[in-house]
């Protein structure tokens, strides 16, 4: 069985830009992951209109970009449901400027939070742990790199924050995404 992979971040960015979409790869995947972690069932296909509304004023995406989004959604769903703890947010490569990588993380987190909301999750549905996780993510979305400080130290701190974001996403998926899937599986079939 061959494993499906996405092209490099920069190639995805070029494709989205050439398709006149004002969204970064981090925002695209963050939004889709937020929807998944909020309980969206990727098999229903209802993610596309939400993606289009949020990123492109309701207009559909060109084929190549839509395929990248679908692939990204499938990979993220497999990572989140595998039980292997191998979920990774789609961020600019480690060889780009630290500021750009941090900006990518901020974009991903902001879009992730929006995706949770698009999936229909409201504060009333959340446990205290989930509320705390979302509060952490809201704070992380505001973080930035201070270029006057030690960049090597900030690079290490950024990697720790990225790890925390991974854990936050997986935690929310376990509570909200996996729960929504299990609730649907438990519904009786009417004949």
- CATH number for the domain harbouring residue 159: 1.20.120.740
Residue that has been written with the tokens 């009417």 in this structure:
190
Residue 17 maps to a domain: yes
The token pair that represents 110 in the structure block: 């902001």
Place of tokens 């998944």: 36
What range defines the domain where residue 131 resides? 9-186
Give CB contacts under 8 A, 24+ apart, made by 58-67.
61/19, 61/21, 62/19, 62/21, 64/15, 64/19, 65/15, 65/16, 65/19, 65/21
Contact 130, 88 (CB under 8 A): no
Return per-residue pLDDT of the chain as tens, 191 residues. Answer: 457 788 999 999 999 999 999 999 999 999 999 999 999 999 888 999 999 999 999 999 999 999 999 999 999 999 999 888 889 999 999 889 999 999 999 999 999 999 999 999 887 878 999 999 999 999 999 988 888 888 899 999 999 999 999 999 999 999 987 655 555 544 444 44
Domain membership of residue 74 (yes or no) is: yes
168 domain-assigned: yes
Residue 41: inside a domain, yes or no?
yes
Task: With respect to residue 191, please indicate whether it lies within any of the assigned structural domains.
Answer: no
Say how many domains are in the chain: 1
Within-domain flag for 2: no
């Amino acid at each position: 069985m061959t494993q499906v992979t996405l092209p490099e971040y920069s190639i995805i960015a070029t494709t989205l830009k050439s398709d006149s979409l004002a969204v970064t790869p981090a925002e695209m995947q963050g939004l889709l992951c937020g929807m998944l972690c909020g309980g969206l069932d990727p098999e229903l296909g209802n993610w596309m209109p939400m993606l289009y509304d949020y990123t492109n004023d309701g207009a559909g995406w060109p084929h190549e970009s839509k395929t990248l989004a679908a692939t990204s959604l499938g990979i993220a769903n497999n990572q989140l449901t595998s039980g292997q703890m191998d979920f990774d947010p789609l961020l600019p490569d480690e060889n780009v400027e630290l500021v750009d990588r941090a900006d990518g993380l901020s974009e991903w987190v902001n879009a992730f939070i929006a995706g949770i909301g698009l999936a229909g999750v409201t504060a009333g549905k959340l446990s205290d742990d989930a509320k705390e996780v979302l509060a952490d993510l809201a704070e992380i979305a505001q973080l930035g790199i201070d270029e006057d400080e030690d960049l090597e130290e900030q690079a290490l701190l950024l990697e720790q924050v990225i790890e925390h974001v991974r854990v936050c996403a997986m935690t929310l998926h376990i509570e909200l995404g996996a729960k929504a899937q299990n609730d649907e599986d438990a519904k009786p079939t009417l004949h």
